[in-house]
């Protein structure tokens, strides 16, 4: 087991125009670890996820995967990373509505050069693991939200990534459907040794993770609670100053 963390962010800063979303966040994720990124809405959780996954390029700071910096790589290279070493799961909207369930899951493999038939077989295996193999020839519009999310999960995991990024994966689902998705997510990632970073504002979802990383107003909140007592204020300012010096 390597002591070096698998994925790290150092002093990540990102703004949308004038609005700062991340003000210098540092985080480590070890191999096979499950981390929940929590915080109130608007605190920058999704932005942090997007920066760590290479979907967004941060304005400042570093993101390293397996010891190599990835934030400045070209879009083509990061895209390759996202479909081979990383898996991404969103709240909704990620399945191609015209492709069947099986074709949706086979897509990343086909993009990686696998032949169609082979990719289809692999897709069916994964759908079976997640209990939705009977829907293989249906269109996404014809299945339930929970089944869609399990399909999306299968698609995220079909290339056997080392890190799974999940952004509010159960946000659009009712409680039991969400539990099902999380159960499968937990089981499969534990079997594969995949690290998981899950963004959520729901404490019950965060409880599935071994560790919580709380954000507040674009900064890490070490108290884990998310609000300014004097103690936290002083410490946070100190942290930012240290980061500024280190940069």
Residue appearing with tokens 């019950």:
204
Residue appearing with tokens 């409680």:
175
Give least dist CB 71 to other proteins, A: 14
Chosen residue from 30, 80, 143, 240 binding other proteins by CB under 8 A = 80
Chosen residue from 10, 33, 90, 181 binding other proteins by CB under 8 A = 90
Chosen residue from 97, 137, 191, 245 binding other proteins by CB under 8 A = 97
Phi first, then psi: give them for residue 236, nearest 5 degrees.
-65, -40
- What is the footprint of other proteins within residues 152-211 (CB under 8 A)? 155-156, 167-168, 171, 182-183, 186, 203-204, 206-210
- Alpha-carbon torsion angle 81, 82, 84, 88, nearest 10: 150
Question: Considering Cα of 183, then 185, then 187, then 188, what sign does the dihedral take?
Answer: positive
Residue 86 engages other proteins in binding (rule: CB under 8 A): yes
- What is the footprint of other proteins within residues 127-156 (CB under 8 A)? 155-156
Which residue, 227 or 244, is less far from other proteins as judged by CB? 227
18: buried, middle or exposed (CB in 10 Å: 19+, 13-18, 0-12)?
exposed
Residue 53 engages other proteins in binding (rule: CB under 8 A): yes
Which residue, 115 or 246, is less far from other proteins as judged by CB? 115
Q: Which positions lie near other proteins, rule CB under 8 A?
A: 16, 46, 50, 53, 55-56, 75-76, 79-84, 86, 88, 90-94, 96-100, 103, 107-108, 110-111, 115-116, 155-156, 167-168, 171, 182-183, 186, 203-204, 206-210, 212, 223-231
């Amino acid at each position: 087991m390597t002591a070096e963390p698998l994925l790290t962010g150092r002093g990540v800063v990102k703004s949308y125009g004038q609005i700062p979303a991340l003000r210098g966040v540092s985080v480590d994720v070890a191999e096979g670890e499950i981390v929940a990124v929590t915080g109130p809405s608007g605190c920058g959780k999704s932005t942090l996820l997007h920066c760590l996954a290479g979907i967004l390029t941060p304005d400042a700071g570093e993101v390293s995967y397996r010891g190599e910096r990835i934030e400045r790589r070209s879009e083509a290279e990061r895209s390759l990373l996202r479909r081979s070493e990383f898996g991404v799961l969103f709240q909704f909207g990620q399945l191609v509505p015209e492709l069947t369930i099986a074709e949706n899951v086979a897509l990343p493999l086909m993009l990686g050069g696998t032949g169609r038939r082979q990719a289809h077989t692999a897709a069916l295996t994964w759908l079976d693991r997640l209990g939705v193999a009977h829907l293989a020839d249906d269109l996404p519009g014809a299945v339930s939200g929970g089944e869609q999310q399990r399909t999306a999960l299968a698609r995220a995991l079909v290339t056997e990534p080392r890190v799974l990024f999940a952004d509010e994966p159960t946000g659009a689902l009712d409680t039991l459907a969400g539990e099902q998705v999380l159960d499968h997510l937990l089981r499969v990632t534990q079997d594969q040794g995949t690290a998981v970073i899950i963004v959520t504002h729901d404490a019950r979802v965060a409880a599935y993770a071994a560790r919580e990383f709380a954000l507040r107003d674009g900064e890490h909140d070490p108290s884990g609670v998310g609000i300014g007592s004097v103690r936290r204020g002083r410490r946070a300012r100190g942290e930012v100053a240290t980061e500024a010096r280190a940069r």
